[in-house]
């Protein structure tokens, strides 16, 4: 069984999906039982997602509206 330190060490690989499946299974089992590590992995996944997702993500409708307003203001 993995302990909390081992989970946090493997958390980013876990999120990347690069862990071999037996380890992945052990991490999942640990996360089911351990609130601390669940929270850690959740926070980390938010950070990872925002770091990776930002350049590819389409702007939100609000941002699009704002850009459109700026664009129109500039071209009047
Ligand atoms: Zn833990």
pLDDT per position as a tens digit, 9-64: 999 999 989 999 999 999 999 999 999 999 999 999 988 878 776 665 566 777 77
30 C-beta neighbours (distance < 10 Å), count: 19
Phi, psi of 62 (to 5 degrees): -60, -45
Rounded to the nearest angstrom, the distance between the alpha carbon of 52 and the centre of ligand 1 is 26
Rounded to the nearest angstrom, the distance between the alpha carbon of 5 and the centre of ligand 1 is 7
The torsion region of residue 2 among left (phi > 0), alpha (psi -120 to 50) and beta comes to: beta
DSSP secondary structure code for residue 57 in this structure = S
- CATH number of the domain that 19 lies in? 1.10.10
Rounded to the nearest angstrom, the distance between the alpha carbon of 29 and the centre of ligand 1 is 10
Full domain range(s) for residue 19: 4-74
Please tell me the total count of domains within the chain: 1
Rounded to the nearest angstrom, the distance between the alpha carbon of 50 and the centre of ligand 1 is 24
16 C-beta neighbours (distance < 10 Å), count: 9
Q: What is the pLDDT of residue 2?
A: 92
Rounded to the nearest angstrom, the distance between the alpha carbon of 74 and the centre of ligand 1 is 54
């Amino acid at each position: 069984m993995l302990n909390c330190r081992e989970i946090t060490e493997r958390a980013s690989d876990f999120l990347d999906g690069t862990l071999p499946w037996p380890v992945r299974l052990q991490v999942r089992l640990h996360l089911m039982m351990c609130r601390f590590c669940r929270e850690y992995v959740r926070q980390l996944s938010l950070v990872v997602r925002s770091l990776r997702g930002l350049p590819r993500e389409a702007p939100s409708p609000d941002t699009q509206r704002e850009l459109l307003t700026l664009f129109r203001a500039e071209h009047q």
